[in-house]
């Protein structure tokens, strides 16, 4: 395993990390013991980065149980900010919530420190200085080693770096973002901005939310495609690209999963790509591709199918600016002379 440095932190992480959403019994593997076996096998294979969130159901608890006796050899990352209950204060980036959320995560994870504590999404209703100030205090107390942001636009990354320098606060060390062959839009701004500021990057969705597994084909029945949560698997534009990538992977002698993962970690701005394996079979398939390096001519052919900097339809989970969500933010107030 060739480890990479996480930004400028000095922390070494594997190029493939383990995303822990699928270890939540409510949305992923219903058997915690099976999830623990998946985690142990990943660690035994050399993966040393595990990423979870307080918004992933009981994922933190499952991860905490799996890391007993192995905590010191793992770079443990978790996130806060998304709603975890009905209380409107159980979310966001306020100092009040951060101090509560970190203690809860530490308890569920069964540890006294978090290696990377990330804002799941920047809170537009909280002054960023408040968020960074609280996170800085957590670093100083030793409860957190490094801090990061997630799903942040390039302008948000720049603002946070500028504010941290201006106010003498800890700066974000990492950014977590979506990136795959099917979604290359972040090549335009987020990845170059992260590189410019020396941020490490964790990539989610490298298999295109299941599209790049090779199991979703045109005119092929699939139970997942009938489920509300997986409606993106019916996107004909994404299926068209998959149908063009499959013969390319076959010609290269690779499963599509290996082609997709190797493409993702080939970008110089990507530090680690998060695997969303739910079962041992899925993990075995992905681990078999560790070490695959794509030649330039193959990368060029992928560029012909999905040009650099383009998205094959937008991800539902991708960041959307507040003005896209609230019409009032993109319309000037009407004056008395405005047309009715």
| DSSP code per residue over 241-302 | HHHHHHHHHHHHT--HHHHHHHHHHHSTT--EEEE---SHHHHHHHHTTTT----HHHHHHH
Q: How far apart are CA 109 and CA 63, in angstroms?
A: 6
Q: What is the dihedral of CA 108, 111, 113, 114, to 10 degrees?
A: -50
The answer to whether the beta carbons of residues 201 and 273 sit under 8 Å apart is no
How many angstroms separate the CA atoms of 202 and 15, rounded?
9
In degrees and rounded to multiples of 5, residue 284 shows phi and psi of -60, -45
Residue 181 CA: distances (Å) to CA of 1, 129, 187, 310? 23, 35, 11, 9
Q: How far is CA 252 from CA 16, 246, 298, 308, in A?
A: 21, 10, 8, 21
Judge whether 56 counts as a catalytic residue.
yes
CB–CB of 122/154 below 8 Å? no
Residue 37 burial (10 A CB sphere; 0-12, 13-18, 19+):
middle
**Residues 16, 56, 117, 179: which is the catalytic one?**
56
The radius of gyration of the chain from alpha carbons, rounded to an integer in Å, stands at 20
Distance CA 84, CA 88 (A): 9
Residues tagged active-site: 56
């Amino acid at each position: 395993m060739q480890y990479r440095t996480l930004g400028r932190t000095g922390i070494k992480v594997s190029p493939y990390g383990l995303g822990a959403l699928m270890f939540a019994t409510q949305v992923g593997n219903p058997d915690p013991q099976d999830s623990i076996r998946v985690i142990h096998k990943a660690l035994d294979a050399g993966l040393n980065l595990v990423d979870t969130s307080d918004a992933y159901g009981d994922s933190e608890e499952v991860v905490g149980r799996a890391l007993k006796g192995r905590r010191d050899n793992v770079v443990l990352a978790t996130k806060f900010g998304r709603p975890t209950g009905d209380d409107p204060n159980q979310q966001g980036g306020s100092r009040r919530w951060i101090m509560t959320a970190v203690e809860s995560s530490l308890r569920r994870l069964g540890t006294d420190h978090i290696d990377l504590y990330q804002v799941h999404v920047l809170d537009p209703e909280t002054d960023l200085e408040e968020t960074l100030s609280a996170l800085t205090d957590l670093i100083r107390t030793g409860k957190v080693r490094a801090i990061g942001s997630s799903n942040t636009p390039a302008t948000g990354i720049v603002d946070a770096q500028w504010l941290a320098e201006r106010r003498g606060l800890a700066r974000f060390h990492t950014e977590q973002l979506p990136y795959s062959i099917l979604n290359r839009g972040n090549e335009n701004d987020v990845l170059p901005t992260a590189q410019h500021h020396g941020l490490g990057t964790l990539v989610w969705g490298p298999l295109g939310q299941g599209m790049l597994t090779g199991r979703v084909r045109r005119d092929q029945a699939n139970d997942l495609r009938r489920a509300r949560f997986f409606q993106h698997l019916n996107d004909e534009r994404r299926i068209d690209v998959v149908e063009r990538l499959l013969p390319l992977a076959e010609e290269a002698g690779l499963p599509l999963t290996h082609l997709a993962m190797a493409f993702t970690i080939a970008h110089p701005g990507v530090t680690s790509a998060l695997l969303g394996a739910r079962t041992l079979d899925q993990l075995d398939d992905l681990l078999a591709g560790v070490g695959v390096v794509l030649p330039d001519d193959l990368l060029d052919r992928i560029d012909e199918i999905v040009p650099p900097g383009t998205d094959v339809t937008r991800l539902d989970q991708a960041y959307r600016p507040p003005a896209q969500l609230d019409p009032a933010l993109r319309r000037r107030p009407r004056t008395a002379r405005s047309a009715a």
